[in-house]
Structure 1
């Protein structure tokens, strides 16, 4: 989007307001981003505590399977309700290798996000401990088995057809298999269209078939 590699982007971020807008995106998505680069840590933590009171669960990306297990129980779902295939897997040729100095620089530029991450990572660890680590491991294995079965049932294979990321192609035309092969943009538009119909009608929406009754 900026026509820069990551190294050049990190240098340019010192000088270009437009580049600075791309940092602390988690804080921005939550609506708590502060425009000040030197915002006191206590203020960010105060916002983190407010978010913790607002959301029953904040998922952690690198603990995604465990996050889904917690979400499953929070929502009273089954494992089949949280099966997934990884989307937007970056091709190896487009993965940047960062030096420790570059990593430190990114942490500085995303300081508010780092504070939020550390806060919610600790909360997450507490939730996993309360859930039971052995129980969590069993349910993570169950989820991964279900993911593998979904891949097999859909005849899903990774391809390199879209720019910098790999995407899924499926041989099964079932609704769930079509869904996992869609782009994020297409899925978002599909959900928005269905929400508009639901809001303007008295229909009941079936999550399993993606249809109104």
Structure 2
């Protein structure tokens, strides 16, 4: 599993999210948590490119860790879930010379899928979004023609905008005929919804393992 961390594209590194590997590793998974460059030093375009490069590296080097590249799952939280959705829209064959189906399954946890409201929020001074970047990097506006199964999940105690983002994206995903599941963790907020990944027997851990198994 490749896990893409959150932080509104402007803060945090893989170190703060190492705990998400515990439950999955206990079940025999290999977990890679890449760090990526942050805004405003780079743009969201560059962050998406780095996500795609990280997934490419994981696929090409999976066997080095005793992992099966045919069971690659990409998971992300918040801004990282945005990365998951963008990765699923990648043209692996033409842009990276890889099979078109290198990702077996994906999990987007409380993601940001519609960037159009962001210029009017506190993150704009850091992100410096332009409208061409917004349109290019809003997953809800750039759904793939085909994709592996996607688990969209969110806590039930999210703010209204995070609720809308997941609700609307999953509705658009299904309307496009893409495979997926929508699952709510009713008692979780934006932060503690990741804690089940510390347990090998949690429902979230098991759902991600199932995505790999297919």
The two structures have a TM-score, normalised by structure 1, of: 0.29
Query: Normalising to structure 2: TM-score of the pair?
Result: 0.29
Structure with more relative contact order (C-alpha pairs < 8 Å, separation 6 or more): 2
User: Which has more helix, going by share of residues?
Assistant: 1
Larger Rg: 1
